[in-house]
A and B are shown apart, each in its own frame.
Chain A
Amino acid sequence: MADTHHEQLEHAPHSHVTGLGVYFAVFFALAIGTIVTWYASTIDLGMWNTPIALIIATIKAVLVILFFMHVIHSTRLTWVVVVASFLWLGVLFVLTFADYLTRGWAMK
């Protein structure tokens, strides 16, 4: 069962090397997203200001996660970990807000 150095390389990480073009494209998308979100905050969009800021931030985060952090090429387990973490955070938000948002409700 002695592994030669060569055989060890075959058990080495199967890595996808992301192209330079992809990295730079993501970078420009992130920079543009930053400018857009700043600009959107200066104009009055009524109730849409907050959701728009959240959506832009989420898109930026997703780009970083998928491409800079290589999740798009990662194992399914990695996807599960990422999704589960945000889901759990969602539980914290939803159930805590369930209290605060219903405190003012009168009993019928």
Chain B
Amino acid sequence: MSDIAAGNEHHHHHPFLQHHFEDLGQQHEASTLGMWMFLSTEILFFGGILCAYWIYRVMYPEAWALAAHQQNALYGGINTIVLIISSLTMALAVRAAQLGSRTWQLIMLFTTLIFGSIFLVVKGIEYSMHWHEGLFPGSHFTWHEHPALAQKVQLFMCFYWGMTGLHALHMVIGAGLLLWIIGRAWRNDFGPEYYAPVEIMGLYWHFVDIVWIFLFPFLYLIHGVHHG
């Protein structure tokens, strides 16, 4: 376990301390800062398409409200709650790692994964419904109410599918990462002195949740049409 380079003294290494860091504290700070840097790029990434969405929303408010009315706010709302629950369990998983409890880490991480999967299933159901209603933009697009606004409703749908699609892609990647973290938690890798991977997993997961927190009102809840 101890590492001897030319002229170096013995180090009683924590097995997960990387050589180029002085100590675990520095490594932890670097990891979390690195993940925050990555999240800042994601803020700009999603922010870009959100900016485009808002430009058109301001330009075509009627079409936007009409298009949002085509969404199923119930499914969207369920998914919002599902993600919020998964965020809670993810935060509790990080807490469990900080406290060194392998059991609770696993319970919370698995629960997070389950709720994330529920989200994806519900999303899949929604997508399938939209597809059969002819609301996928392109040659399949068929929508006959309000012909004057049809093209702009199609434009909205480009954003709906694009934004939720990118979000879902991030969820899938998050699920994959969760599996990896679960594997490491299973091997009892984490404890009070080393839990950075769980923490940065949490940061990623919470970010994906935040994106949905904005997407839900933007894509499902635009007032302007009679709601049932």
Residues of A within 8 A of B28 (CB): 12-13
A86 to B193, CA, bound (A): 32
Are B55 and A12 within 8 A (Cβ)? no
Residues of A within 8 A of B85 (CB): 27
Q: Is residue B145 contacting chain A, with contact meaning CB distance below 8 A? A: no
Q: Is residue B67 contacting chain A, with contact meaning CB distance below 8 A? A: no
Are B24 and A37 within 8 A (Cβ)? no
| Number of A residues with CB within 8 Å of any CB on chain B | 60
Are A96 and B77 within 8 A (Cβ)? no
- Shortest beta-carbon distance from A33 to chain B in Å: 9
Residue of B nearest to A100 (CB): B55
**When A13-B196, A27-B88, A57-B214 are in contact, do A8 and B12 touch as well, CB less than 8 Å?**
yes
**When A5-B14, A13-B28, A15-B98 are in contact, do A85 and B23 touch as well, CB less than 8 Å?**
no
Are A37 and B221 within 8 A (Cβ)? yes
Q: State which of B40, B55, B98 has its C-beta within 8 Å of the C-beta of A85.
A: B40
Are B90 and A68 within 8 A (Cβ)? yes
Are B29 and A13 within 8 A (Cβ)? yes
Are B55 and A89 within 8 A (Cβ)? no
Are A13 and B193 within 8 A (Cβ)? yes
**When A53-B221, A61-B213 are in contact, do A5 and B12 touch as well, CB less than 8 Å?**
yes
A31 to B87, CA, bound (A): 12
Q: Is residue B66 contacting chain A, with contact meaning CB distance below 8 A? A: no
Interface string of A51-80 (1 = CB under 8 A from B): 001101100110011011110001101100
Residues of B within 8 A of A70 (CB): 199
Instruction: Choose among B14, B90, B217, B224 the residue with the greatest number of A CB atoms under 10 Å from its CB.
Output: B217
A72 to B115, CA, bound (A): 26
Interface string of B203-228 (1 = CB under 8 A from A): 10011011001101110011110010
- Shortest beta-carbon distance from B8 to chain A in Å: 9
Are A41 and B192 within 8 A (Cβ)? no
Q: What is the interface of chain A, defined by CB distance below 8 A to chain B?
A: 1-5, 8-9, 11-15, 17-18, 20, 23-24, 26-27, 30-31, 34, 37-38, 41-45, 49-50, 53-54, 56-57, 60-61, 64-65, 67-70, 74-75, 77-78, 81-82, 84-86, 88-89, 92-93, 96-97, 100-101
Q: What is the interface of chain B, defined by CB distance below 8 A to chain A?
A: 9-14, 17, 22-26, 28-29, 32-33, 36-37, 39-40, 43-44, 47-48, 51, 54-55, 58-59, 73, 77, 80-81, 84-85, 87-88, 90-92, 95, 98-99, 192-196, 199, 202-203, 206-207, 209-210, 213-214, 216-218, 221-224, 227
